[in-house]
Each structure stands twice: as structure tokens, then as C-alpha cells.
Amino acid sequence: MRLQLLFLAFPVIHAAAIRWMPLGDSITDYGCWRAWLWERFQNEGYDVDLVGGERAGENCRGLDFDRDHEGHPGYMAVDIVAKKQLVDWLKKNPADVVTMHLGTNDIFRGNKKTGEILEAYTTLVDVMRGSNPGMRIIVAQIIPLPAVDRQVQELNRAIPAWAESKNSSASPIWLVDQWTGFTSADLKDGIHPSESGDAKMAERFWPALVRAIGTIQGR
């Protein structure tokens, strides 16, 4: 009986909710782009559970959305690696899919070089795969940061080759360009997305999330 139940718990088609961890800094914590994605998952019939140890507090048109995430204001990718924080976050809240929008603070606060940030990304991907060998990983080319955008663009230009070198069929990495076409009107304070910026971020993450979910569900 027990064995049979165990067997039934692992059907070929993944029937459980897909666990999505939004990972990042304040650009992931603040605003409503996660809320808009959650709403679209509901509207289009996807069973997605947002996971993470943080709870967003913002009001997004009164939507009662799933507020769990791992967006940490001010955090740098290099620090998350140095402090081994992602290991713990994923232990507490395992995920099937991670979206990562990180590097803004490395550049803005830490003046980190592209190579140092990519090295941190590499470790973060290794940690994700250590937690789940089949992790679907969605990496953002980050939104503009007008004060230091030359460095942002340099990082964004380096991300595709880095991602390709870290790619694997068991744990694919997909890129989402959050920079191109993101204007100053899409920022509310020179750093964080405005309403239109939130809408753009959600729209751009959407196809990558749908694709990632499709590969988990065998579609």
C-alpha cells in the first residue's frame, strides 16, 4: 500500500504546483511585477506557488497575491555568495524555477567588476543545482541604472556568453533581457521600476516562466 502510494506520488506529468523563487534585491522586493505575474498565472490556469522567506508588503490594486519571494533590498550577488545565503534560502524554500535579477547593487554600491559579478552568478547557479539538479534558471539582463549604466550595459553584454557556458540540458538557463526598451519613464526614482516598468518586467519574464514550467510538465 505504502509503495503504491509512493509510486502514485510521482506521476509522469508533474501535477504539483510549480514552485517559483523570485531572487534578487529591492527591484524584486518592491513594486508589483511579481503580483502581475501571479495574476496572469491565475488567469491562464497555471498552478504556481511563489516561494521564499520574504513577504512583500505593497498594495498592487488590492490584489491578494502570493507575496513570498527572495528579494533583498541592497543585497549584492557577491555578498549572497560570500555569506552562503542562497544555500539556506533554498533549504527553507525549495524551488523548481528561479528567476534571478541581481547585480545592480554590486555595481551601484560595491563598484564590482563584471567578472566578479559573473563569478558570483556561477556560484549561485551551482547552489541552485545543488539544491535541485533539475532547477530551471531564468537570468535577467538587468534593468538600466542611469547613474552607472555603462557598467550595467557591460554586465548585460557579458551575461549571454556566461549563461551559455553554464547551460545544461538537465538544468537549463534562459535569458530575459530586461534592459532593452526600458526607458527612464519605466523607473520611478532612477533605480526601481515605475508602474510601467513593473508591467514591462512582468511581460518579459512571462514567456520564460511559461517555457520553464512547460519543460517541467513535459510539454
Angle at 191 (CA atoms; ends 187, 194), nearest 5 degrees: 25
Query: Residue 163 and residue 174: Cα distance in Å, rounded?
Result: 8
Interface with ligand NAG (CB under 6 A) = 163-164, 167, 169, 172-175
Q: Which is nearer to ligand NAG, 17 or 158 (CB)?
A: 158
Q: Which is nearer to ligand NAG, 80 or 138 (CB)?
A: 138
We find the least distance from the C-beta atom of residue 68 to ligand NAG, in angstroms, to be: 27
We find the least distance from the C-beta atom of residue 207 to ligand NAG, in angstroms, to be: 12
We find the least distance from the C-beta atom of residue 96 to ligand NAG, in angstroms, to be: 15
We find the least distance from the C-beta atom of residue 138 to ligand NAG, in angstroms, to be: 10
Q: Which is nearer to ligand NAG, 81 or 175 (CB)?
A: 175
Give me the phi and psi of 153, to 5 degrees please: -65, -35
Q: Which is nearer to ligand NAG, 188 or 211 (CB)?
A: 211
C-alpha radius of gyration, the chain, whole number:
17
Residue 82, all three cell numbers: 560570500
Q: Which is nearer to ligand NAG, 146 or 207 (CB)?
A: 207
Closest CA to 108 of 156, 71, 79, 145: 145
| Bridge partners, residue 141, by sequence | 177
3-state secondary structure 116-129: HHHHHHHHHHHHHH
We find the least distance from the C-beta atom of residue 61 to ligand NAG, in angstroms, to be: 34
What are the Cα distances from residue 212, in Å, to 2, 148, 185?
A: 32, 32, 30
